């Protein structure tokens, strides 16, 4: 299974940085990609955050990694906060900095690790709004209706693809990058299973419900109408005939949800949240949901229990005579 989009490209350090910073960031990017197996998207995020740091330090004459102090890092983070960056952004950037300087010290590129005592703000771990079960049902029913209204073969194929994309996202809870990276051989429709390549190159198998399997079968019956040779064995293809792009999927989901009354404006990740929340509300155990979502930490999956708990609390307060 190959990655979607420009998966082979890794963001290179900015030419405005000092030569030492450029060399070290280039080596760090290779470490993240080859030794840790991180996705190109994650590597670009790390390098972007570190480029921001060394650009800031270059303005005050301290642009080389070996010269950075803990006070420099704290000043940089304080400037981030003053500039309006939210806590999640500051936490992500401080994590990138700690990872970079720990690697640089471990590989003897610097004499000491200035980020060892660096602390970042706690992040508000509330989940964004999610779709209700009836809204998810209305979303999918609306896409089924659009398929029935289609006329030309190309229109039929595109609408069957759209329905299959949303069915798979909601049924499996996979990330948009994982969906775009799916190949034809990743489906086991006899058993209703999907083989997914997740973060860090980790592979997992997730279940699909009957509606998602049927939507996939219908899409595969017309895939040849849209697919060009450049699509290879891509499961989903865009209107131009190549492997579908994550941006196309995001627009597709936003557009489909806009047709559902009172539904929040969410993208593919919102369907992932919805799937996990609905599973837990339906009685699924936390470990199973963790495995389906591909979370490395159970603590990440536990966020969804707070959402379910809030809804239970509201139901209790509305129904119990002594609530």
| CATH number of the domain located at residue range(s) 133-265 in this protein | 1.10.443.10
What's the CA gap between 175 and 1, in Å, rounded? 15
Of 302, 101, 124, 288, residue with least CA distance to 206: 288
159 is known as an active-site residue: no
Cβ count within 10 A of residue 213:
23
Q: pLDDT band at residue 165, thresholds of 50, 70 and 90?
A: very high
**Over the chain, what is the mean pLDDT?**
84
295 is known as an active-site residue: yes
Q: pLDDT band at residue 98, thresholds of 50, 70 and 90?
A: very high
- State mean pLDDT over 221-244: 94
Strand partners, 183: 234
What's the CA gap between 130 and 3, in Å, rounded? 27
Q: Which residues contact 305 (CB under 8 A, 6 or more apart)?
A: 280, 286
Query: Percentage of residues in the chain with pLDDT exceeding 90?
Result: 42
175 is known as an active-site residue: yes
- State mean pLDDT over 145-155: 92
Q: pLDDT band at residue 77, thresholds of 50, 70 and 90?
A: confident
Q: Tell me, what's the pLDDT at 246?
A: 92
Residue among 44, 159, 278, 295 flagged as catalytic: 295
Q: What are residue 142's phi and psi, to 5 degrees?
A: -65, -40
122 is known as an active-site residue: no
272 is known as an active-site residue: yes
Q: Check whether 117 has a pLDDT greater than 70.
A: yes
Residue among 56, 146, 199, 214 flagged as catalytic: 199
Residue among 44, 98, 175, 273 flagged as catalytic: 175
Q: Tell me, what's the pLDDT at 101?
A: 94
Q: Check whether 313 has a pLDDT greater than 70.
A: no
304 is known as an active-site residue: yes
Q: Which residues contact 160 (CB under 8 A, 6 or more apart)?
A: 147, 215, 218, 219, 221, 222
């Amino acid at each position: 299974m190959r990655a979607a989009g420009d998966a082979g490209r890794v963001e290179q350090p900015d030419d405005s940085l000092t030569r030492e910073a450029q060399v070290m960031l280039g080596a760090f990017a290779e470490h993240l990609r080859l030794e840790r197996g991180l996705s190109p998207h994650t590597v670009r995020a790390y390098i972007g955050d570190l480029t921001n740091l060394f650009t800031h330090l270059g303005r005050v004459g301290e642009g080389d990694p070996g010269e950075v102090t803990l006070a420099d890092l704290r000043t940089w983070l304080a400037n981030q906060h003053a500039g309006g960056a939210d806590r999640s952004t500051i936490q992500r950037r401080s994590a990138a900095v700690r990872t970079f300087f720990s690697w640089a010290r471990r590989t003897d590129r610097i004499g000491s690790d200035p980020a060892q005592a660096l602390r970042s703000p706690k992040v508000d771990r509330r989940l964004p709004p999610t779709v209700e079960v009836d809204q998810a049902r209305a979303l999918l029913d609306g896409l089924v209706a659009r398929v029935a209204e289609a006329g030309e073969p190309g229109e039929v194929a595109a609408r069957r693809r759209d329905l299959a994309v949303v069915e798979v996202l909601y049924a499996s809870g996979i990330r948009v990058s994982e969906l775009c990276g799916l190949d034809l051989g990743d489906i086991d429709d006899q058993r209703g299973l999907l083989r997914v390549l997740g973060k860090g190159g980790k592979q997992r198998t997730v279940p699909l419900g009957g509606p998602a399997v049927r939507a996939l079968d219908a899409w595969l019956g017309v895939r040849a109408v849209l697919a060009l040779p450049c699509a290879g064995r891509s499961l989903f293809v865009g209107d131009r005939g190549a492997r579908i792009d994550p941006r196309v999927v995001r627009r597709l989901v936003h557009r489909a949800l806009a047709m559902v009354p009172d539904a929040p404006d969410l993208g593919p990740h919102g369907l992932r949240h919805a799937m996990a929340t609905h599973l837990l509300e339906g009685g699924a155990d936390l470990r199973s949901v963790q495995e389906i979502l591909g979370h490395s930490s159970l603590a990440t999956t536990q966020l969804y229990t707070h959402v379910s708990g809030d809804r239970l609390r509201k139901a209790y307060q509305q129904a119990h005579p002594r609530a």
